[in-house]
Amino acid sequence: MTDSDPQTTFRGLPLTSEQDAEVRHYIKVRTQHGLPWDTPELSAMLRDMLQPPGYDNGDVGAAADEMNAAAERATASVDEAMDPIEADEERNAAMESEWMKGPKR
């Protein structure tokens, strides 16, 4: 496999060699069928390659923090003198109660 760089890729875009091959294949097939190759589909393909969809980690961090806080509140409701099975059941009940309350805003 050859290394690709902006001087050798399609329109000088920062594509991987696989992405560049995919773009060139798309253009070749379209040209062979006598169809225009500079299409909205090609633009969308390039946009996806250059800016792939990601996840908004801001919400994940907040949700994880809220989950940890709920677990701490549930654990605090358990008495250390309890039987381990009873303590586990009590902690589960407290967690369910925290989930029913919903996220803190």
Query: Using one digit for the tens of pLDDT, what is the confidence trace for 21-76?
Result: 898 999 999 999 999 988 899 888 888 888 866 655 555 666 677 777 777 776 67
| Helix, strand and coil in the chain, % to nearest 5 | 65, 0, 35
Placement of tokens 């097939």 in the chain = 29
DSSP state for residue 86 in the 8-state scheme: H
Q: Quick check: 66 and 104 in contact, CB under 8 A?
A: yes
Top-confidence residue, 7 or 23: 23
Cα 12 to Cα 24: distance, rounded to the nearest angstrom: 13
Placement of tokens 């961090």 in the chain = 61
